[in-house]
């Protein structure tokens, strides 16, 4: 894929969209990890933490790109991406962040890098699928998108909360990439080109429709259960009252 070609820029836009949709949690982790530092140290922690996180993610995606050349692994990756896309549409049951803020610059940087690595499996799989074997695309896309996540994280999260369609579009994009990834596997690519060329275009569309349809179905079933269970904080607040009675 040549630098500057239409296909290159489409892939870059996909990578940026993936990082924005899946990177909200990473932005929260960065804020939590650096919250106890002095104001002048926070910007340093964010800069070096993000720098280390980008470098580590490039290495992880490079290995993922190599692994995706093994037969059947793109199919497995596609299935994982379908599930990640569906999970995006499910109601949240709490943020789940248990990040201790460090009082030292080195500690905050370490926390940001390690937490980003642990939380970035979905990003790595999705970006590897969108990059189409190009490490240059991976690096370019990450360099552009990660600063957007970090310095515009509040705006991004606000837009995602205010406009659910942003999440829907992101989930559909993951389904699109999953369909394209599965059909470009070593064991499926030749068959598709010989017997079902329409799948080259229809597969990504079917993947996107599958994620949105199944995700909305699961979300509709999950909402009554969450409403019936109540919020954990409400339950904890009501517990002492029950004991007194």
Q: What is the pTM of this model?
A: 0.66
- Total Cβ atoms within 10 A of residue 24: 18
- Other Cβ atoms closer than 10 A to 152: 14
What is the distance between the alpha carbons of residues 173 and 167, in angstroms, rounded to a whole number?
10
**Residue 17: which pLDDT band, with cuts at 50, 70 and 90?**
confident
What is the rounded distance in angstroms from the CA atom of residue 158 to the CA atom of residue 174?
Answer: 21
Angle at 12 between CA 8 and CA 15, to 5 degrees: 140
**pLDDT for position 233:** 40
The whole-number pLDDT of residue 23 equals 64
The H or E element containing residue 168 is: helix 164-183
pLDDT in the model for residue 225:
65
In Å, how far are 50, 109, 111, 176 from 44, measured between CA atoms?
A: 10, 9, 14, 37
**Local confidence band at 211 (pLDDT 50, 70, 90 cut-offs):** very high
Q: Give per-residue pLDDT as tens, 126-185.
A: 787 888 777 788 777 777 776 766 666 556 656 666 777 878 887 888 889 888 888 888
Distances (CA, A) of 28 to 25, 76, 209, 229: 5, 29, 30, 26
pLDDT given at position 235: 41
- The tokens for 100 are 């201790």
How big, in percent rounded to 5, are the helix, strand and coil portions of the chain? 80, 0, 20
In this structure, the number of other CB atoms found within 10 A of the CB of residue 137 comes to 24
Domain coordinates in residue numbering, the chain:
6-231
| Token reading at 199 | 């799948």
Query: How far is the C-alpha of 217 from the C-alpha of 222, rounded, in Å?
Result: 9
Range with top average pLDDT, 16-30, 57-71, 112-126: 57-71
Which of 113, 150, 207 minimizes the C-alpha distance to 20?
150
Q: In terms of residues, how long is the chain?
A: 245
For residue 196, is pLDDT > 90? no
Q: Distance of CA 206 to CAs 62, 201, 243, Å? A: 28, 9, 53
Confidence band for 236, pLDDT divided at 50, 70 and 90: very low
Given a cut of 80, whether residue 25 has pLDDT beyond it is no
- Helix/strand/coil for 150: helix
Neighbours of 73 (CB within 10 A): 17
Q: How many CB atoms lie within 10 A of CB 78?
A: 26
């Amino acid at each position: 894929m040549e630098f500057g070609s239409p296909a290159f820029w489409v892939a870059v836009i996909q990578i940026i969209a993936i990082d924005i949709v899946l990177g909200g949690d990473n932005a929260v982790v960065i804020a939590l990890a650096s919250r106890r530092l002095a104001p002048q140290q926070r910007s340093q922690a964010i800069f070096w933490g993000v720098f280390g996180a980008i470098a580590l993610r490039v290495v992880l995606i490079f290995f993922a790109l190599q692994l995706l050349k093994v037969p059947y692994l793109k199919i497995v990756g596609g299935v994982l991406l379908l599930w990640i896309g569906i999970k995006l549409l499910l109601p949240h049951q709490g943020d789940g962040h248990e990040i201790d803020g460090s009082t030292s610059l080195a500690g905050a940087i370490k926390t940001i890098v390690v937490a980003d690595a642990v939380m970035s499996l979905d990003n790595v799989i999705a970006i590897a699928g969108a990059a189409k074997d190009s490490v240059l695309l991976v690096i370019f896309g990450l360099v552009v998108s990660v600063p957007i996540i970090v310095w515009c994280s509040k705006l991004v999260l606000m837009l995602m909360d205010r406009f659910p369609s942003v999440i829907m579009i992101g989930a559909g994009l993951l389904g699109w990439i999953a369909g394209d990834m599965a059909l470009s596997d070593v064991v499926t690519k030749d068959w598709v080109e010989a017997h079902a060329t329409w799948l080259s275009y229809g597969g990504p569309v079917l993947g996107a429709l599958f994620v949105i349809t199944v995700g909305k179905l699961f979300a509709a079933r999950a909402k009554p259960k969450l409403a019936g269970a109540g919020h954990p904080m409400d339950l904890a607040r009501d517990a002492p009252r029950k004991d007194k009675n």
